[in-house]
Amino acid sequence: MRGARGKRGGRRGDRGQVTVEFLGMTPLILLTLVLVWQFVLVGYTYTLAGNAADEAVRAGTAAPPGARQAACQEAGLKQVSAAYRDGATVTCGGTDYVTADVHLRVPVLFPGFLGFPFPVDGHAGAVGEAK
């Protein structure tokens, strides 16, 4: 009889333990999710900057030399979504070898909300078409 009581008393002492452990782990789980999301945003920003630079240099090589700079900048900014345009810069240069550099700010948690102080750079280059 005594042994049976001891086992029942032991089970009551652990009651709610899973709930307490889950509540203790919740902040760690949320922090992990936030960090993973932030790394996704960093990767997406690099992809966006690289794509914008590629499109900018493609438009720059197809344009006549006098309009190359404007066409390059317009095409680069067109590829950047509205949430990333704040603080985005597109610089193009070169005559025979056209280059485009795109600088974007990495957002903190939400695009268009707040950005980290360091830029993400995308660079592309191509030989200009003879016209």
> What's the pTM?
0.73
Q: Any bridge partners for residue 123, and if so which? A: 101
pLDDT tens digits, residue range 70-98? Answer: 888 888 888 888 877 777 888 888 777 88
Question: Is residue 15 over pLDDT 60?
Answer: yes
Q: Closest by alpha carbon to 42, among 118, 100, 123?
A: 118
Q: How confident is the model at residue 31 (pLDDT cuts 50, 70, 90)?
A: very high
Cα(15)–Cα(86) distance, integer angstroms: 53
